[in-house]
A = this chain, B = another copy of it.
Amino acid sequence: MAGSHNFDVKAFPLETYVREAAARVEAALARSVAEPAGPSGRLFEAMRYSLLAGGKRLRPVLAIAACEAVGGSVESVMGFACAIEMIHTYSLIHDDLPCMDDDDLRRGRPTNHKVYGEAIATLAGDGLLTDAFRVVASSSPKVSAGVLLQTVIDLADAAGSDGMAGGQVIDLLGEGRVLELKELEVLHRKKTGALFIASVVCGARLGGATEKQLESMRQYGQALGLAFQVADDLLDVESNAEDLGKRTQKDEARGKATYPSLLGIEQSHQLARELASKAHAALADFDHRADPLRALASFAVERKV
């Protein structure tokens, strides 16, 4: 690894770090969406059903880790951390709908529309997406309005038509035909990569990062997002539903292109490792406060779930 700071991935207590950061996120998420009461109570119930269903909280943890890597405080980033998880959750609810991927199971539980019906599930997604912008914009009195406004812009860019929503369209239209490797990269860059990049770039900006640090975070996020995707594809092939809490080998069943299907399993593992190295290299100029980000890059390609 480049840089003067020595990082020993085995010595870093990633599990503890993630557990503690995720616990803070859980508490803040529960406050971000109202308790079910009043005439719209059913909507809040559906929103909370998916938002508070556990999950790795990877994007909020990345945002917190990026903020801390540049010396920022958790308070500055928590609103954004919640917002990005709300947006991630909305995308899962809509992706699971019968007209999209038609999934019955998510994180080991029935999907939102299986419990609340399609109409409420659609609106629960809409509500989470919309409320996410309220949460980020009204979050941090310590952060300048200019920085919060740029966070809103980056978040909308990452999630919108040129980001995640656009990626989902490419994914839908690509089913049934074999995408080429270049197309698969564009798909993942938009569908999942953009939100990963926003997590660390906005997290760092909210922590007071310099322009140079933001560029490093952009490179880190890009490599990390793709590393997670390649590893996800590999897990889909190599794991079973019990471990993952969702249906596996569904990519193949749908004729979806994946890294293993295009590159083979061994070369996909190799690519994932290269991407993790790239992520590490992007952090060369950061000190020990970036160790959580380094450990997450290693975890991305070594995880079993």
Contact = CB atoms under 8 A, between A and B. Distances in A.
Which of A39, A126, A168, A190 neighbours the largest number of chain B CB atoms within 10 Å of its CB? A126
A137 interface: yes
A193 to B, nearest CB: 14
B40 A190 contact: yes
A149 B153 CA distance: 11
A104 interface: no
Given A145-B149, A153-B134, A127 B166 contact: yes
Given A127-B165, A149-B149, A162-B40, A134 B156 contact: yes
A173 B117 CA distance: 12
Contact of A126 (B33, B39, B129, B170): B129
The A contact surface, by secondary structure, is helix
A173 B99 contact: no
Interface string A172-184: 1100000000010
Contact of A165 (B97, B123, B137, B148): B123
A34 interface: yes
5 contacts: A40-B161, A99-B122, A122-B122, A126-B126, A137-B156
Interface of A: 33-34, 39-40, 42-44, 47, 90, 94, 97, 99-100, 117-120, 122-123, 125-134, 137-138, 144-146, 148-149, 152-153, 155-157, 159-162, 165-170, 172-173, 183, 186-187, 190
